Amino acid sequence: MRTADFDYELPPELIAQTPLTPRDSSRLLALDRASGSLAHQGFTDLPNYLGSGDVLVFNDSRVFPARLYGHKPLGGKPSGGQVEVLLLERVNERDWRALVRPGRRLQKGASFFIDGGPDERAEVLDVADDGTRLVRLPSGVDLSAVGVVPLPPYIKKPFGDPERYQTVYARPEGSVAAPTAGLHFTDRLLDEIRQRGVETVFVTLHVGWDSFRPVTVDDPRDHPMHSERYELSPESAAAINRAKSEGRRVIVVGTTAVRLLESNADGGPNGVVGERAADDPGGPLTPGHGSTDYFIAPGHEFKVMNGLVTNFHLPTSTLLMLVSAFAGRERVLAAYAEAVKERYRFYSLGDAMLLI
C-alpha cells in the first residue's frame, strides 16, 4: 500500500466554495459495496435507502471560533506584522496547541497582540517538532468575541453566515473543522428519517487539523495521526450495542464518527472513563471519554459500521483511505471518476456519497 495509490485527478473548479441552500439540495452518489453499482440521487432520497430498525449515527461536535488574527508589537503597540493563529487544542486555562503564521517569525519567546483582545500580549512558549506551537493567550480573552470559525484552506473566501459551517444538531464546542457529512441534513429531513423508524444516535469527536493535513510519506502507515478528544455516552453506546446484538444496521454519518466507533470497538482510544448503562446488552462499544489517534486504512476489519454517509475527500488523504477500507479502493476511485465526469461538487461544502 502506497500513498500514491489514493491519488486522483480533480479539476479545481469542482471544489465547492459555497454551501447550497437549502442544505439537503446537494446531490448523493450511492455506491453498492457488493456489486459496485452506482446510482445518482438527490440527498433528499437518502431515506429511501434506510429502513425501520436502522441506527443512524451522527457526530454532534460544534466548530469553535478557533482562528485568531493579531499583530506583532512595534514600539509597544500592535502595529507590526500581521499574525494568524489557529487554535487546535486547549492544554490548560490559557495555553493552547496551535498553528501560527508566519511561523518563521513566531519562534519560542515571540509575542503578539490579538486583534480586538486585551492589551496583554499572547506569547509563544514552545515549538514542537511537527511545527505546532504552545501559545499562551492573554488572561480573560473571550474567543467568542475575538475569534472566527475557521474554514478549510481550499475555501478561498468566507461566506455569509458562519452557521452554515455547522450542522443543525451541533452541540458541544471543540472542533476546528466541521464534521461535514452532516452539513447536508435539515431538521425536516431528520424528522422524515425518524418517521421511517430509523433511530438517530449522537456521539462526539472533536475534529482536529488532521482532516486537512496531507499525507507526505510514501507508506501511509507511517503517517502520524494527532489525537482527538471524544465522548461516547452510555445511552448512545447502548443503542448501538443493541442494534448490533439484534442484527440491525448501523449507518454512520461522517468519517470522524467512524473513527470514534471503530477505535472504541477495537480498544484503541486512550484514557477511556465510563460505565455501561443498565440497559446495555453488552457489545463492541464501551461508553466513556478520552482521546484517539486511530488510523483506518485498507485491511481494517469493521466491527460496528454497516453503511456510511460521507463527502468526497482530498486525494491521498487519510479520509479517502478510510472510505477505501470500507468499500474497496478500486470501487471508490471508480466512483470518484464518475463523480468528476458528472460534475459533482467536492470536499467540505460539496455533494455526498452513500456507501452501503
Task: Kindly state whether residues 105 and 171 are assigned to the same domain.
Answer: no
Instruction: Give SS3 for 56.
Output: strand
CB–CB of 38/29 below 8 Å?
yes
Q: Is residue 152 part of a domain?
A: no
Residue finishing a domain among 146, 172, 193: 146
Tell me, what CATH number does 103's domain have? 2.40.10.240
Q: What is the pLDDT of residue 278?
A: 65
Nine-digit cell at 218? 510514501
Q: Is residue 174 part of a domain?
A: yes
Task: Kindly state whether residues 220 and 255 are assigned to the same domain.
Answer: yes
Task: Kindly state whether residues 108 and 243 are assigned to the same domain.
Answer: no
Q: What is the pLDDT of residue 212?
A: 66
Tell me, what CATH number does 183's domain have? 3.40.1780.10
Nine-digit cell at 239? 443503542
Q: Is residue 83 part of a domain?
A: yes
Q: What is the pLDDT of residue 271?
A: 47
- Please count the structural domains in the chain: 2
Task: Kindly state whether residues 89 and 10 are assigned to the same domain.
Answer: no
pLDDT tens, residue order, the chain (356 aa): 999 999 999 999 999 999 999 999 999 999 999 999 999 999 999 999 999 999 999 999 999 999 999 999 987 777 789 999 999 999 999 999 999 999 988 999 999 999 999 999 999 999 999 899 999 999 989 999 999 999 998 999 888 788 999 999 999 999 999 999 999 999 999 999 999 999 999 999 999 987 667 788 999 989 888 889 999 999 999 999 999 999 999 999 999 999 999 999 988 555 455 556 667 776 799 999 999 999 999 999 999 999 999 999 999 999 999 999 999 999 999 999 999 999 999 999 999 999 99
- CA distance linking residue 41 with residue 30, whole number of Å: 7
Task: Kindly state whether residues 87 and 198 are assigned to the same domain.
Answer: no
105 phi/psi in degrees, rounded to 5: -100, 0
Task: Kindly state whether residues 307 and 176 are assigned to the same domain.
Answer: yes
Q: Is the dihedral of CA 237, 243, 245, 251 positive or negative?
A: negative
* Among 84, 93, 205, residue whose Cα is nearest residue 151: 84
Q: Is residue 106 part of a domain?
A: yes
Residue type, 111: S
Nine-digit cell at 159? 461566506
Pairing status of strand 228-232 against strand 288-292: antiparallel
Q: Is residue 151 part of a domain?
A: no
- CA distance linking residue 170 with residue 127, whole number of Å: 32
Q: Is the dihedral of CA 208, 276, 244, 192 positive or negative?
A: negative
Which region holds residue 244: left if phi is over 0, alpha if psi is between -120 and 50, else beta?
alpha
Residue finishing a domain among 121, 146, 171: 146
Task: Kindly state whether residues 133 and 173 are assigned to the same domain.
Answer: no
Task: Kindly state whether residues 57 and 139 are assigned to the same domain.
Answer: no
Nine-digit cell at 33? 459495496
Q: In the chain, where do the E strands start and end?
A: 27-31, 38-42, 55-59, 62-63, 67-71, 82-90, 95-101, 111-114, 122-127, 133-136, 173-175, 199-205, 228-232, 250-253, 270-273, 288-292, 307-311, 352-355
Nine-digit cell at 221? 502507515
Task: Show Cβ contacts of residue 58 under 8 Å, excluding neighbours closer than 6 positions.
Answer: 167, 169, 179, 182, 185, 200, 201, 202, 203, 253, 254, 257
Measured from the Cβ of residue 141, the count of other Cβ atoms closer than 10 Å reads: 17
CB–CB of 55/252 below 8 Å?
no
Task: Kindly state whether residues 54 and 78 are assigned to the same domain.
Answer: no
Task: Show Cβ contacts of residue 141 under 8 Å, excluding neighbours closer than 6 positions.
Answer: 114, 117, 118
- The enclosing H or E element of 244 equals helix 234-245
- CA distance linking residue 328 with residue 335, whole number of Å: 11
CB–CB of 127/135 below 8 Å?
no
Task: Kindly state whether residues 111 and 209 are assigned to the same domain.
Answer: no
- CA distance linking residue 129 with residue 51, whole number of Å: 48
Task: Kindly state whether residues 98 and 198 are assigned to the same domain.
Answer: no
Q: What is the pLDDT of residue 270?
A: 52
Q: Is residue 19 part of a domain?
A: yes
Specify which residues 111 forms β-bridges with: 123
Which burial class, exposed, middle or buried, applies to 293 when counting CB atoms under 10 A from its CB (0-12, 13-18, 19+)? middle
Task: Kindly state whether residues 301 and 188 are assigned to the same domain.
Answer: yes
What pTM, to 2 d.p., does this model score?
0.93
Residue finishing a domain among 117, 146, 175: 146
Owning domain of residue 100: 67-146
